[in-house]
Chains A and B, each alone.
Chain A
């Protein structure tokens, strides 16, 4: 097996595994940049995965090959809705944001399994018929070498994810909205005195994070698991959170980290069939994202500074 053959397998698989992480990590960026810790990304992905699968199964006949994309919109809305709960608890009711995130995770898995049993009478759904299948990207796949590695026999969601990362970067660092969002996460009282509605910005940040994580869950479910059960999302949300931190709360950094984690994940799964990697115990690849994130936080790989007001509720009029 030559290098070329390895890359042809590995790159599309890396991109596939990375795309749910990218979407979810971008979502996390919105929430955390506004100053709200979001440990609930996992649960928000669960709700996204669940709603996309249920929608897909129910409406595959109606929407045909467009089904997974429409299902993503549904996942987005559902993720955003569940995030409202996190926002109400942690912003309006000043609940501990970590605790609220934990509750989101427990609630999402409990609620979705409850509904799966209610709707289908069993613990997991059927396999969907219209998933994100393999495609050749038009035109680009004809480029020699690069076309074969990156654009042939691959999937659409990763390319959307990368494009969205760039858009998120632009929104966060070049637009008034981004400036305000970041100011609220760094120094909410300063933002308040400048007439920015801190509560509103934080609600927006958290709800967008839910929408993105919902999409992340929807992408995962419709391209990797193809059904929904208790084990569909197991740790993807936390890994996205790790990517966000490893990427220093920067959209493009988070995307890079997510791609790297996607690489590690896909390697741990298909590595045994690739000569170069077959001797690496998969446990190293499985824990790599987490170990690296700890090292990054410790400062061994460049210092990662969180938004200053992250985790602190804003109480008007107190110093």
Chain B
């Protein structure tokens, strides 16, 4: 069986396995899986409002997924998307509330760029440490996540507000909200951000596949020694990759800060979008278009899950379990690939 088909089959099989195990869990804990899944379905497609909410949820998922996938293609594991997202969120809101009389055409891009920049800086640090000191980026980005959480909380409490848990709303001129989208989706929180996310999908694809820079990034990702031998700037590409990855993550934060919520607040824990981004990238095979499909699936599941307690009395955490299982299955692709080969061989005989 060709590699290409296997590469598509693995995520599909993983999703199916995730759903099967989800069914088993519902059965074992005394819930009705049919009711559960139809509630889930209804929660995604049942009303135009839900569709709007799904697309809204998909927006940061695409960007977080791109962030993880982009770093991955350069051989880096960016677990720090969560932290980069949080600082991006805060930076966007900061710019959003700091200016009041700017025209939208200046203010909105400024806020968006601030988010990308903040995320990029947060990605720059682990990139630099990796390039210069060979420190493993996984550990550093995990640590950076917590530093981001505490630092942004402290800034929101002591700089952006006077010991309040929440900032003011951003100025209209910095907002991504779209009355038009809201009106056609029965007043969901769908905003313009989805176009930014899709633009980034194109950027990632074009950059990696079509440019000499992308050739270098991919080369460094596969083999640093050969890249150095070939005369590429390995350290520069490592740092650049983390910076771009961080910028994508920061933009995901902007989607929340400028689109969905319009403010930033003190957080007790992480948003989870960054970690879900790992799942999105992985399921999407770390390619730009794959990320879109995976983000649609996970975004749909997350939003649809909220309907499960209402209609079927099933805790929405079931979907988190299913997502975690899907990650397990995709990550264990070696096993699935092995099984596919076994089966296809038997089929031939």
- Asked if B138 contacts A114 (CB within 8 A), the reply is no
- Bound together, the chains give a CA A104 to CA B321 distance in angstroms of 10
Q: Does A242 contact B (CB under 8 A)?
A: yes
Q: How far is the CA of A109 from the CA of B153 in the complex (A)?
A: 23
| A8 vs chain B, min Cβ distance (A) | 28
B147 touches A291 (CB 8 A): yes
- Please give the distance in Å from B249's CB to the nearest CB on chain A: 15
When each residue 226-265 of chain B gets 1 if its CB lies under 8 Å from chain A and 0 otherwise, what string results? 0000000000000000000000000000000000000000
Judge if A234 is at the interface, Cβ distance under 8 Å. Answer: yes
Contacts of B331 in A (CB 8 A): 89, 93, 95-96, 99-100, 103
**Interface segment out of the listed B53-61, B87-95, B213-221, B312-320:** B312-320
B317–A117 CB distance below 8 A: yes
Q: A85: which B residues are within 8 A, CB to CB?
A: 328
Query: Contact: A245 with B139, CB < 8 Å?
Result: yes
Given known A-B contacts A89-B332, A99-B282, A287-B147, A117 and B79 have beta carbons under 8 A apart: no
Contact A99 B278 (CB under 8 A): yes
**Closest chain A residue to B132, Cβ basis:** A298
User: Using a CB-CB cutoff of 8 Å, which residues 277-319 of chain A contact chain B?
Assistant: 281-283, 286-287, 290-291, 293-294, 297-299, 306
For residue A211, CB closer than 8 A to chain B, the reply is: no
- B146 proximal to A (CB < 8 A): yes
Q: Is the interface of A mostly helix, strand, loop or mixed?
A: helix
A39 at the interface (CB under 8 A from B): yes
Query: Which residues of A sit under 8 angstroms from B324, Cβ to Cβ?
Result: 103-104, 106-107, 110
Find chain B residues with CB under 8 A from A102 CB.
Answer: 79, 275, 278-279, 327
> Which residue in chain B gives the minimum CB-CB distance to A95?
B331
Residue of A nearest to B152 (CB): A283
Is A94 interfacial (CB 8 A cutoff)? Answer: yes
Chain B proximity mask over A56-98: 1 for CB below 8 Å, otherwise 0: 0000000000000000000000000000010001001111101
Q: B136 at interface (Cβ–Cβ under 8 A)?
A: yes
* CB-based contact A106/B327 at 8 Å: yes
What is the CA–CA distance of A95 and B14 in the complex, to the nearest angstrom? 13
State whether A235 touches B154 (Cβ < 8 A): no
Distance between A55 CB and nearest chain B CB, rounded to angstroms:
18
| CB within 8 Å: A-B pair count | 137
Q: Cα distance A37–B79 when bound, in Å?
A: 14
B135 located at the interface, meaning its Cβ lies under 8 Å from any Cβ of chain A in the complex: yes
Is A231 at the interface (CB under 8 A from chain B)? yes
Asked if B140 is at the interface of the complex by the 8 Å CB criterion, the answer is yes
* Interface secondary structure of B, over-half rule: helix
Point out the residues of chain A lying under 8 angstroms from B154, CB to CB: 281-283
In the complex, A174 has a CB within 8 A of chain B: no
State whether the Cβ of A206 lies closer than 8 Å to any Cβ in chain B.
no
Q: Known contacts A110-B321, A287-B150: does B143 contact A298 (CB below 8 Å)? A: no
Cβ distance A39 to chain B, nearest Cβ, rounded Å: 7
Q: Is the CB of B139 within 8 A of A95?
A: no
Q: Is the CB of A242 within 8 A of B143?
A: yes
Q: Is B269 an interface residue (CB 8 A)?
A: yes
B297 partner residues in chain A, CB cutoff 8 A? none
Instruction: Assess the A103–B320 pair: CB atoms within 8 A.
Output: no
- Interface centre among A114, A291, A298, by most chain B C-beta atoms within 10 angstroms, is A114
Distance, CA A93 to CA B338, complexed state (A): 10
Q: Are B142 and A39 in contact (CB under 8 A)?
A: yes
Q: Do B142 and A298 touch (CB < 8 A)? A: no
List the A residue with the shortest CB-CB distance to B128. Answer: A298
**Interface digits, B153-190 against A, CB 8 Å rule (1 contact, 0 not)?**
11000100000000000000000000000000000000
CA distance A238 to B144 in the complex (A): 11
Are A234 and B323 in contact, with the CB atoms below 8 A? Answer: no
A98 touches B334 (CB 8 A): no
A229-286 residues at the B interface, CB under 8 angstroms: 230-231, 234-235, 238-239, 241-242, 245, 281-283, 286
Contacts of A297 in B (CB 8 A): 129, 133, 135-136, 139-140
Contacts of B30 in A (CB 8 A): 118
- In the complex, are the beta carbons of A100 and B151 less than 8 A apart? no
Asked if B315 and A117 make an inter-chain contact with CB atoms under 8 angstroms apart, the answer reads yes
Q: How far is the CA of A298 from the CA of B143 in the complex (A)?
A: 13
B66 to chain A, nearest CB (A): 17
Task: Point out the residue from B139, B153, B334 that lies within 8 Å of A93, measured CB to CB.
Answer: B334
B3 on the A face (CB < 8 A): no
Q: How far, in Å, is B122 (CB) from chain A's closest CB?
A: 13
A125 on the interface (CB 8 Å rule)? no
CB atoms of B268 and A95 under 8 A apart: no
Query: For residue A112, which residue of chain B has the nearest CB?
Result: B317
> Are A231's CB and B269's CB within 8 A?
yes
- The answer to the question of A54 belonging to the interface, with a C-beta cut-off of 8 Å to chain B, is no
CB distance from B271 to the nearest CB of A (A): 13
Q: Please, which residues of chain A bring their CB within 8 A of the CB of B279?
A: 102, 106
B113-146 to A contact mask, C-beta < 8 Å, 1/0? 0000000000000000100010110111011111
Partner of A286, one of B25, B150, B328: B150
Q: For chain B residues 265-295, which have a beta carbon within 8 Å of chain A?
A: 268-269, 275, 278-279, 282
Task: Supply 18 A–B pairs (Cβ within 8 Å), ascending by A.
Answer: A89-B332, A96-B331, A98-B77, A99-B278, A100-B331, A106-B320, A106-B324, A106-B327, A109-B320, A110-B320, A110-B323, A113-B317, A118-B30, A281-B158, A287-B147, A290-B147, A294-B140, A306-B136
Closest 5 CB pairs of A and B: A110-B320, A107-B324, A93-B332, A95-B331, A283-B154
Using a CB–CB distance below 8 Å, which chain A residues touch chain B? Answer: 37, 39, 85, 89, 92-96, 98-100, 102-107, 109-111, 113-115, 117-118, 230-231, 234-235, 238-239, 241-242, 245, 281-283, 286-287, 290-291, 293-294, 297-299, 306
